[in-house]
Amino acid sequence: MAVVYKKSIALTDAPLTYCPGCTHGIIHKLVAENLVELGVYDKAIGVGPVGCSALCDFFFACDMYIAGHGRAPAVATGIKRTHPDKFVFTYQGDGDLASIGTAEIVHAAHRGEKISTIFVNNAIYGMTGGQMAPTTLVGQKATTAPYGRSEEHCGKPIRIAEMIATIEGAKFVERVSVNNPANVRKAKKAIRRAFELQLEGKGFGLVEVLSTCPTNWGYSAVNALKWLEENLIPYYPLGNYKDY
């Protein structure tokens, strides 16, 4: 029997703490598989955020940090400037990266830090219980936008991939989704490309991954994927925004 698929060695045996069907787990696998396939797992250092993936230091088997809320790119900067020969990635959600951590992500990109950022956008604050994120869609309900996000009151959602792509130091920016097997495969390729860019010493790379939050969106895991496809993808177009 030949093994077609088994759990990546870059993931620990610890059970994931994510809700059933949450696509964080899929994105974890894509990161882990790319680390191994590119041969950088043995020199990888990851930085997790505050949010649902604040426990990802238990899940990735390489050396790991958890940063303060939004500060992962600054922490990664400190690590990479200490060990330029190591492979450094950040794993951040939308509350973390697109709200409280905008300064850190913009300036890591601006300096052209040779790190890779996985930005998981599910348009809501998950861990704190479904509050509005800067990426929450207009009309989408959240516990702090109980009548739906109003454009008049809090603007339209922020598009991070497009914004980061305008920064000189960002050399690879792509938005992907994990709502079906074909898109998962594309997401894996994009993450691989961002990782290769770091290895080539070209500069900063970011992959925005559209993800689900079945619990706080109030859908089953399968229906959450449908909601993502019908609502998030139209506002957050998939595709490459920069490949130096």
Binding other proteins (rule: CB under 8 A), the pick from 22, 120, 145, 165 is: 22
Nearer to other proteins by C-beta: 64 or 154? Answer: 64
Contact 62, 35 (CB under 8 A): yes
Contacts (CB under 8 A) with other proteins, residues 44-83: 44-45, 47-48, 54-55, 57-58, 60-68, 71, 74-79, 81-83
CB of 102 to other proteins, least distance (A): 10
Residue in this structure with the two tokens 């958890």, named with its chain if needed: 66
Q: State the nearest-atom distance from the C-beta of 176 to other proteins, in Å.
A: 14
Candidate segments 10-18, 91-99, 148-156, 189-197, binder of other proteins by CB under 8 A: 10-18
- Cα 179 from chain centroid (whole Å): 14
Burial class of residue 145 (count of CB atoms within 10 Å of its CB; 0-12, 13-18, 19+)? buried
Pairing of strands 170-177, 204-210: parallel
- For the stretch 10-38, what's the b/e string if a residue is b when 16 or more beta carbons lie within 10 angstroms of its beta carbon? bbbeeebbbbebbbbbbbbbbbbbbbbeb
Closer CB to other proteins, 42 or 151, in the complex: 42
User: Which 8-state DSSP code applies to residue 125?
Assistant: B
**Least distance CB 138 / other proteins (angstroms):** 28
The contact set with other proteins (CB under 8 A) reads 1-8, 11-12, 15-16, 18-26, 28-29, 41-45, 47-48, 54-55, 57-58, 60-68, 71, 74-79, 81-83, 86-87, 103-104, 106-107, 110, 180-181, 184-185, 214, 220-222, 225
